[in-house]
């Protein structure tokens, strides 16, 4: 018989009340609580806690507390990643974040989803879709990335944007739902002025 965790990781409907998953969420809550209680000078402790919490962590990573996640082990961040205050990473599926990425304050990344049909939703099953963020991405404060989206290399997501579709390489997106505001090129140094955070 397939475990609820295996179903979750495969993107199939699963029961989040399963004892194994509940215990893993409790572990993540403990680790994030400890992380969020650290102070600015606790760089070594912060790194140790991120290594224990996240699935993989590159070099030069900084995450400002508080941060929240469901499981932690499905979060993978590349080198020189920076997340500002109050980020939420709902990682029932993999969240892959590339190198040189900046995430503004209050940004939410969701992989978890529920059935649209009310009767199915009342049965309590959930599912999820992975989120992938490429290299050199800037995500402005209070942006939301929904389940299943991919963000291309060099993209900028404006503050407050709600991303429901894939974002191509080298563009600025904004709005709800987010749409392409303009394309960037290598010489466009001020193309992210709307991102914020």
Please tell me the distance from the alpha carbon of residue 160 to that of residue 140, in angstroms, as a whole number: 7
Q: Which of 100, 107, 108, 95 is nearest to 154 (CA)?
A: 100
Q: Are 98 and 122 in contact (CB under 8 A)?
A: no
In residues, how long is the chain?
197
Residue matched to tokens 């397939």: 2
| Catalytic residue flag (residue 114) | yes
What CA–CA distances, in Å, run from 143 to 49, 80, 106, 176? Answer: 25, 20, 7, 10
Residue 174's φ and ψ, nearest 5 degrees, are -160, 165
Q: Which of 184, 189, 159, 152 is nearest to 174 (CA)?
A: 159
Active-site residue, from 16, 47, 114, 125 = 114
Please tell me the distance from the alpha carbon of residue 48 to that of residue 119, in angstroms, as a whole number: 43
Catalytic center residues:
114
């Amino acid at each position: 018989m397939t475990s609820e965790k295996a179903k979750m990781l495969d993107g199939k409907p699963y029961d989040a009340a399963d004892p194994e998953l509940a215990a893993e969420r409790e572990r993540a809550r403990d680790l994030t609580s400890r992380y969020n209680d650290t102070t600015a000078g606790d760089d070594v402790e912060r790194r140790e806690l991120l290594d224990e919490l996240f699935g993989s962590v590159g070099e030069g990573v900084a995450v400002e507390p508080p941060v929240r996640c469901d499981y932690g082990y499905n979060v993978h961040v590349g080198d020189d990643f920076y997340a500002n205050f109050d980020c939420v990473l709902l990682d029932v599926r993999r969240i892959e974040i590339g190198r040189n990425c900046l995430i503004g304050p209050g940004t939410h990344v969701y992989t978890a989803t529920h059935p649209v049909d009310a009767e199915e939703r009342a049965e309590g099953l959930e599912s999820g879709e992975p989120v992938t963020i490429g290299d050199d991405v800037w995500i402005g404060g209070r942006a939301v990335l929904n389940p299943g989206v991919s963000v291309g290399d060099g993209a900028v997501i404006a503050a407050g944007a709600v991303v429901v579709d894939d974002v191509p390489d080298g563009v600025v997106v904004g709005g709800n739902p987010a749409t392409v505001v303009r394309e960037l090129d290598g010489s466009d140094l001020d193309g992210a002025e709307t991102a914020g955070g």
